[in-house]
C-alpha cells in the first residue's frame, strides 16, 4: 500500500492514510470474495472509500460483479487496486465504469471525477476547492516568480511536482477560465488576468494550508521550517507577537519527527508548535516567515477584530 499512497501523493497532491478494513465490516461478504481481495479503507477528497486489492488477475465482468457485492455489503464506494494489465483490459474496465487504480500507471474513479492516465487528464473538473498542487502553483506565480509563458515541464521542475500533477492542476485552472495553454508539442501556460486579479478571482477557491499540528520539545535543526501564526502576522501588522513559536513544515514532517524523536513530540504541549502544511511553505518564502497569502488563508475565518485588522494590513502589504 505504500506504493499506492505515494502514487496518490505525487499524482493528485494529496496525502492519504490507508488502513486495513476491520474484520467486523467484512462479515457479510462471501468467502469467494474475501479470498480474492485484501480490503483497506481511506479518505480521498473528503470521501470515505474502500480499496480492494486484487490478489490475482480478473476479468472486467467478474471484477465489476465482485466490487458491486463489496459495495452493497459495506455501503461505501469501492476502488479496485490492480497490478499492471494490458491496455485493452483497462479499456474494458472503463467501458463498464469500474473504478480502479494501477499504481504508477493509471487511475479511473468516475464517482470522484478522476480519470488520470500516464499522459494527462481527460475528465473535466468542476469549480470546487483547489487541490494543494493548484493552490501552490498559483501562490508561487503570485509571490515567488511569474510562471506565465513557461511550458508545463519547466513549471513541474520549479515546483518539484511530477508532470501529471501539474497537468491536472492546469486543467483545473483552464476549466475555471483562469488560464489557457498555447503550443502543440510543448504546452505553454498563459494566465488570463493580472496577479491582483488572479488573487481576487481565486481566493474563495483556496483553502487553509494547515493539515495538522503538533507540539515539539527541544531544538529543531535542518528542517527548513518557516515561522507562522501570530508571530508571522505581527511582522506585517500592529499585532503583538505570541510567546509560543509556531513553525510551518512540509507534508510528512510530523510523522518524521514522531519516528526520530518519539518522546519529544505530542499533541498537547511542548516548546514550539509544528504546523504541517499541505504543500511546502519553504518553497514560497525566501525569508524566515511563511508567505503572506498563505498566512492570510490560515487566519481568514478568524472573527477576532484584532486579527481582522491585522489581515487588512497584511493584504495591503502584498499589493
C-alpha span between 239 and 79 (Å, rounded): 49
Please indicate, yes or no, whether the overall pTM of this predicted structure exceeds 0.85.
no
> Does the residue 126 lie in any domain?
no
Bridge partners, residue 42, by sequence: 49
Do 71 and 21 contact (CB within 8 A), yes or no? no
DSSP-H helix ranges across 19-97:
31-34, 60-74, 87-95
The residue segments making up the domain with residue 181 are 132-205
Domain count, the chain: 3
Do 78 and 71 contact (CB within 8 A), yes or no? yes
| Residue 176 C-alpha from the chain's centroid | 19
Q: Which of 86, 120, 154 is at the close of a domain? A: 120
> Does the residue 227 lie in any domain?
yes
Q: Which of 183, 205, 227 is at the close of a domain? A: 205
C-alpha span between 186 and 316 (Å, rounded): 37
Residues 263 and 281 in one domain: yes
Q: Beta strands 19-20 and 47-54: pairing type?
A: unpaired
Q: Beta strands 226-228 and 272-277: pairing type?
A: unpaired
Residues 311 and 215 in one domain: yes
Residues 12 and 103 in one domain: yes
Alpha-carbon dihedral sign for residues 84, 87, 92, 94: positive
Print pLDDT tens along the chain (319 aa).
888 888 877 677 677 899 988 887 888 888 888 888 899 999 876 778 899 999 988 888 889 999 999 988 888 899 999 988 887 788 888 888 899 999 888 888 876 655 555 434 344 444 467 899 999 999 999 999 999 999 999 999 999 999 989 998 998 898 888 999 988 778 899 999 999 999 999 999 999 999 999 999 988 877 889 999 999 999 999 999 888 899 999 999 999 999 988 889 887 778 899 999 999 999 999 999 999 999 999 999 998 999 999 999 999 999 8
pLDDT at 126: 44
pLDDT at 283: 97
pLDDT at 222: 73
Do 292 and 318 contact (CB within 8 A), yes or no? yes
C-alpha span between 235 and 91 (Å, rounded): 55
C-alpha span between 56 and 4 (Å, rounded): 17
Residue 283 C-alpha cell reads as 518553497
Q: What is the CA radius of gyration of the chain?
A: 22
Q: In b/e form, how buried is each residue of 205-231, taking b as 16+ CB within 10 angstroms? A: bbeebbbeebbbeeebeeeebbbbbbb
> Does the residue 127 lie in any domain?
no
Torsion of CA 42, 122, 104, 149, to 10 degrees: -110
pLDDT at 13: 67
C-alpha span between 299 and 311 (Å, rounded): 8
DSSP 268: S
pLDDT at 26: 82
Residues 307 and 220 in one domain: yes
CATH code (residue 143): 1.10.10.10
pLDDT at 228: 96
Does residue 33 sit in helix, strand or coil? helix
Q: Which of 69, 95, 120 is at the close of a domain? A: 120
Do 50 and 40 contact (CB within 8 A), yes or no? yes
Residues 38 and 112 in one domain: yes
Amino acid at each position: 500500500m505504500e506504493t499506492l499512497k505515494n502514487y496518490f501523493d505525487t499524482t493528485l497532491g494529496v496525502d492519504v492514510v490507508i488502513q486495513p478494513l476491520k474484520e467486523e465490516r467484512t462479515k457479510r461478504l462471501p468467502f469467494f470474495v474475501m479470498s480474492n481481495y485484501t480490503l483497506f479503507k481511506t479518505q480521498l477528497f473528503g470521501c470515505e472509500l474502500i480499496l480492494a486489492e486484487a490478489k490475482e488477475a480478473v476479468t472486467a465482468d467478474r471484477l465489476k460483479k465482485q466490487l458491486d457485492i463489496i459495495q452493497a455489503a459495506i455501503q461505501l464506494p469501492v476502488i479496485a487496486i490492480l497490478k499492471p494489465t494490458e491496455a485493452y483490459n483497462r479499456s474494458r474496465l472503463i467501458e463498464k465504469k469500474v473504478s480502479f487504480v494501477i499504481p504508477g500507471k493509471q487511475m479511473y474513479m468516475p464517482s470522484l471525477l478522476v480519470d488520470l492516465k500516464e499522459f494527462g487528464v481527460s475528465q473535466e473538473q468542476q469549480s470546487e476547492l483547489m487541490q494543494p498542487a493548484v493552490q501552490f502553483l498559483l501562490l508561487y506565480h503570485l509571490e515567488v516568480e511569474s510562471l506565465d509563458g513557461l511550458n508545463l515541464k519547466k513549471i513541474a521542475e520549479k515546483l518539484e511536482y511530477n508532470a501529471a500533477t501539474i497537468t491536472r492542476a492546469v486543467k483545473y485552472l483552464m476549466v475555471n477560465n483562469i488560464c489557457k495553454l498555447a503550443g502543440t508539442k510543448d504546452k505553454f501556460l498563459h494566465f488570463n488576468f493580472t496577479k491582483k486579479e488572479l488573487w481576487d478571482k481565486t481566493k474563495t477557491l483556496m483553502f487553509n494550508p494547515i493539515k495538522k499540528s503538533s507540539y515539539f520539545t527541544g531544538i529543531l535543526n535542518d528542517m527548513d521550517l518557516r515561522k507562522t501564526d501570530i508571530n508571522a502576522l505581527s511582522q506585517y501588522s500592529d499585532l503583538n507577537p505570541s510567546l509560543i513559536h509556531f513553525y510551518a513544515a512540509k507534508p510528512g514532517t510530523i510523522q518524521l519527527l514522531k519516528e526520530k524523536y518519539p518522546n519529544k513530540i505530542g499533541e498537547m504541549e511542548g516548546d514550539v508548535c509544528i504546523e504541517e502544511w499541505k504543500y511546502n511553505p519553504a518553497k514560497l518564502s525566501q525569508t524566515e516567515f511563511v508567505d503572506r497569502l498563505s498566512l492570510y488563508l490560515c487566519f481568514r475565518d478568524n472573527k477576532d477584530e484584532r486579527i481582522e485588522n491585522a489581515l487588512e494590513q497584511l493584504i495591503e502589504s502584498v499589493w
